[in-house]
Amino acid sequence: AVVAAYVMITSFTLPLLAQEWNLSNIFASTIASSTFIGMFIGTLSAGIISDYFGRKKSAMFLLFIGSFFSVLSGFIGSPTLFIIFRILSGIGFGGSMPVLNAYLTEFLNVSIRGKYLVYLESSWAIGSIFIAIVHMFIARNFTWRLDYIFLGAGFIPFLLLFTVPESPKYLLIREKKEEFEKLFNYNIKEKIIVPKKEKVTINALFKKGYLVRSLNILLLWFTMSFGYYGIFVWVKGILAQKGVDVVLTDWYTFYMFLAQLPGYLLAAYLIEKIGRRKSVLLFALGTAISSVIFASVSSNILVLIFSLVVSIFCMGEWGLTYAYTPELYPTTMRGTANGVSGALTRFSGFIAPFYTSYFLERGNINIGLMGIAILFLLTGILNFIFLPETLKKEVD
């Protein structure tokens, strides 16, 4: 939730930052993209770090870094220093996401894993709604700096992690039998048979047996990030170009954030009802079709309705992506797979604001939205064809 608040804060504050510091659209896009530079570094390294040091310790360290530098961002007086602090906080928050995803995965039975991983990802909607409420009812009446100070909420999960144990699967795979028995009060009488240890590298994701699934799941992550951030980072600009009153753009953005939650809940239901592959295809098609309609309509009421539909399908797909990915890899590779996938989304998120601003400046954002729709359509079809179904199946 806190990571979502950290990322989506730019949807509300970017125009205010540009106004206060007299920034061009390109420089404002650089501020938005700096978020993903840090998150790219964090996610790329977090998987390997968590596989080596453990899920719990890695998550705590990364959450602290993200929260600390986010709060400091609220006191910055120059755009250059602001970008630096956004990068540093991005390293922390970006790295914490794949670590926590792998952490929860290793506590869950395969029969309920998909549903609860989507529930975990639904916290993104809660975080988006949280920062929207902070901005709409508190910060907007005073200063955008309060938005960033409220990101100190990240210290709450940091403290809560002190109360939970390390991942049991991680302890077993690292042959830490004594620590496992002490934490879980369970005496292991027989010799534990664990998967063969191997050096976990990024190259392992592209070896024979994993190449096709890795390429397809990375395409899914790229598409999810590009589409989501391409729309939401500049959503106020998109709405304004479609004729929505400036005052209403804040409220429309707020409603879009609210619509994310039912998207996650619908995905959590369908992922166990019809499986991973069908769900991914359904939500990809839903995002593509609703994006085309959103691009085509012009009346305020239709713009609002289909912006909400886009939000529902797009965020449902994101939740499915987070649940599906760790199920495609064994425990020894899971953290690295999550980390690399997350890193790609940061690269995608980095270029997405520039993509949208290009079409905004030329007054043809509808073409930009069509491009996003085509990307979702192709990704959904390819994933359905090439990725295996993991419903109630254990990779390792």
Could you report the per-residue pLDDT of 118-129, keeping only the tens digit for each?
Answer: 677 777 788 888
**pLDDT given for residue 58 in this prediction:** 87
Q: Do domains 1-164 and 200-395 have the same CATH topology?
A: yes
Could you report the per-residue pLDDT of 271-307, keeping only the tens digit for each?
Answer: 889 999 999 999 999 999 999 999 999 899 999 999 9
Residue pair 386/213 in contact (Cβ under 8 Å)? The answer is yes
What are the sequence ranges of the domains in the chain? 1-164, 200-395
**pLDDT given for residue 361 in this prediction:** 85
**pLDDT given for residue 110 in this prediction:** 65
The stretch 111-122 carries a mean pLDDT of 69
Could you report the per-residue pLDDT of 6-35, keeping only the tens digit for each?
Answer: 888 888 888 888 888 998 877 888 888 888
The stretch 136-155 carries a mean pLDDT of 89
Give the whole-angstrom CA distance, residue 334 versus residue 352.
27
What sign for the dihedral angle of Cα 152, 61, 157, 95?
A: positive
Rounded (5°) CA angle 340-344-348 = 170
- Looking at residue 103, its amino acid is Y
Could you report the per-residue pLDDT of 334-385, keeping only the tens digit for each?
Answer: 777 877 887 788 788 889 988 998 998 888 899 999 999 999 999 999 999 9
Q: Tell me the DSSP string of 115-175.
A: HHHHHHHTHHHHHHHHHHHHHHHTGGGS-THHHHHGGGGGHHHHHHGGGSPPPHHHHHHTT
Range list of β-strands (E), the chain: none
- How would residue 192 be classed by pLDDT, with cut points 50, 70 and 90? low
**pLDDT given for residue 198 in this prediction:** 54
The backbone torsions φ and ψ at residue 166, rounded to the nearest 5 degrees and listed phi first, read -70, 160
List of long-range contacts for 78-84, beta carbons under 8 Å, 24+ apart: 78/21, 79/17, 79/21, 79/23, 79/27, 79/31, 82/17, 82/31, 83/30, 83/31, 83/34
Mutual angle of helices 300-327 and 246-273, in 10-degree steps: 40
The answer on pLDDT for 199 being more than 60 is no
Give the least confident one: 171-185, 198-212, 214-228, 360-374: 171-185
Alpha-carbon distance values, 128 to 155, 251, 321 (Å) = 17, 13, 18
Q: Which two structure tokens, joined as six digits, stand for 305?
A: 């309705």
**Which residues contact residue 333 at a Cβ distance below 8 angstroms, ignoring those fewer than 6 apart?**
200, 204, 205, 210
- How would residue 95 be classed by pLDDT, with cut points 50, 70 and 90? confident
200 vs 338 pLDDT, higher one: 338
Residue pair 8/131 in contact (Cβ under 8 Å)? The answer is yes
Alpha-carbon distance values, 171 to 3, 160, 166, 330 (Å) = 27, 20, 7, 15
Give the whole-angstrom CA distance, residue 16 versus residue 82.
14
End-to-end CA distance of the chain: 30
What is the three-class DSSP state of 106?
coil
| CATH of 1-164 among 3.10.105.10, 3.40.1260.10, 2.40.110.10, 1.20.1250.20 | 1.20.1250.20
The answer on pLDDT for 146 being more than 60 is yes
Average pLDDT, the chain: 84
Give the least confident one: 63-72, 172-181, 291-300, 385-394: 172-181
The backbone torsions φ and ψ at residue 197, rounded to the nearest 5 degrees and listed phi first, read -70, 140
What sign for the dihedral angle of Cα 149, 93, 225, 381?
A: negative
**pLDDT given for residue 213 in this prediction:** 92
The stretch 260-275 carries a mean pLDDT of 89
Burial class (CB in 10 A: 0-12, 13-18, 19+), 58: buried
Q: In terms of Cα–Cα distance, which of 145, 291, 302 is closest to 226?
A: 291
The answer on pLDDT for 75 being more than 90 is yes
Give the whole-angstrom CA distance, residue 327 versus residue 331.
9
Q: What's this model's pTM, rounded to 2 decimal places?
A: 0.74
**pLDDT given for residue 283 in this prediction:** 96
Architecture in CATH for domain 200-395: Up-down Bundle (1.20)
Give the whole-angstrom CA distance, residue 185 versus residue 194.
20
**pLDDT given for residue 309 in this prediction:** 96
**pLDDT given for residue 196 in this prediction:** 53
